[in-house]
Amino acid sequence: MQKSLLGKRPIHQTKLNNELTNSRPLFMFNKLKQLKPSTLAVLVQSVAFLTVLIIFKFSYLIVNVGVSSFSIIDFVIMQSLLAAAFSYCLNMAVWWRWIHLCFPLAMLAMTHWQLPNEFYLAGFIISLSLFWTTFRSQVPFYPSRPIVWKQVAKIMPKDRHLKLIDIGSGLGDMSMYIAKVRPDSQIEGIEIAPLPWLVSRLRVKINRSKAIFKLGDYHALNFADYDIIFAYLSPAAMLALWQKSSREMKTGSLLISLEFEIPGVNPTMRIAGNDHSPAIYVWQI
Ligand SMILES: C[S@@+](CC[C@H](N)C(=O)[O-])C[C@H]1O[C@@H](n2cnc3c(N)ncnc32)[C@H](O)[C@@H]1O
């Protein structure tokens, strides 16, 4: 077998790999993968819709049945299955496949029930204030569990006053727990979505917690003001988080991430996850 001068890989294999990576379908696939999930979702449903239209238009050629023989339910089921199949082929996350499968069916059900317009407006406002910039940040709301808060409290050095902030504090549970068990320290949370932030502010008043909640984007913070940054975000946010942390955080301070690692940066400490909680990663700056 002929060897490449630059390495052990045979020449014909290298050529094949180049052909593969340069091939048009793979190039298109990679381009599609670079789109934001929300844009890709609209594209998937639109392509599924057009495909169903084409299939139904030409169905009489294959099964000798005219488009008028199909009901709207046939149309919607086909659209659901195709959209789910496309999202599977595009390797979208599992929950996106379910969303694509259910979305056309949910639309059909909603039209059937003829709900008043105010219902949709209320749904839109609630979703907007809960998820806010999720389509851009790719960090949706999902809460961490008490087992995680206890682990974070254990990680915190006991011998001094600390400033900790939960970036993306959601409903505020994590910060309120830490504020309770570490009354000597200053515990804050920052949340970009108005509804969870409002809920956390109300809960602080009801529970008389010492936690401080701010409405805003954590990118606008100066991380140098804190000893500990706690993050439960998403894989999409981790690289930029590391760049900001390593630029701004003080030497010796801690960056704690629940579930999501920073690509290519080994953590100083890793607490293994279990059935009740994902792993916790700690980087000492
Ligand atoms: C996975 S939840 C974590 C909630 C909370 N930290 C906990 O442990 O229960 C992530 C939260 O981050 C918020 N978020 C996303 N991007 C943000 C940003 N740039 N600034 C502040 N909050 C953000 C989201 O709205 C969401 O509520």
Most ligand 1 atoms within 8 A of CB, residue of 137, 145, 166, 217 to mutate = 137
From 100, 134, 168, the end of a domain falls on: 134
Alpha carbons 121 and 117: distance in angstroms, whole number: 6
pLDDT at 119: 85
From 102, 134, 166, the end of a domain falls on: 134
265 and 155 within one domain: yes
The tens-digit pLDDT sequence of the chain (285 residues) is 333 333 333 333 334 444 444 555 666 667 776 777 778 889 999 999 999 988 887 776 766 666 667 788 888 999 999 999 998 888 877 778 899 999 999 888 888 888 888 888 888 888 777 776 666 666 778 888 899 999 999 999 988 899 999 999 999 999 999 999 999 999 999 999 888 999 999 999 999 999 999 999 999 999 999 999 999 998 889 999 999 999 999 999 999 999 999 999 999 999 998 877 889 999 999
CA of 212 to the centre of ligand 1 (A): 15
CA of 192 to the centre of ligand 1 (A): 7
Residue 1 resides in a domain? no
pLDDT at 275: 72
CA of 191 to the centre of ligand 1 (A): 6
278 and 171 within one domain: yes
pTM more than 0.75: no
201 and 127 within one domain: no
pLDDT at 2: 38
Atom of ligand 1 nearest to the CA of 217: 20
Alpha carbons 107 and 112: distance in angstroms, whole number: 9
Residue 15 resides in a domain? yes
Please give the residue range of the domain that contains residue 159: 146-284
Three-state helix/strand/coil letters over the chain: CCECCCCCCEHHHHHHHHHHHHCHHHHHHHHHHCCCHHHHHHHHHHHHHHHHHHHHHCHHHHHCCCHHHCCHHHHHHHHHHHHHHHHHHCCCCHHHHHHHHHHHHHHHHHHHHCCCHHHHHHHHHHHHHHHCCHHHHCCCCCCCCHHHHHHHHHHCCCCCCCEEEEECCCCCHHHHHHHHHCCCCEEEEEECCHHHHHHHHHHHHHHCCCCEEEECCHHHCCHHHCCEEEECCCHHHHHHHHHHHHHHCCCCCEEEEECCCCCCCCCCEEECCECCECCEEEEEC
111 and 195 within one domain: no
pLDDT at 115: 80
CA of 140 to the centre of ligand 1 (A): 7
Residue 2 resides in a domain? no
Read off the pLDDT of residues 4-33 as tens digits, 9 standing for 90 and up: 333 333 333 334 444 444 555 666 667 776
Domain at 266, CATH number: 3.40.50.150
From 105, 134, 163, the end of a domain falls on: 134
- Which protein residues touch ligand 1 with a CB less than 6 Å away? 132, 137, 139, 141-144, 166-170, 173-174, 190-193, 196, 217-219, 232-233
Residue 215 resides in a domain? yes
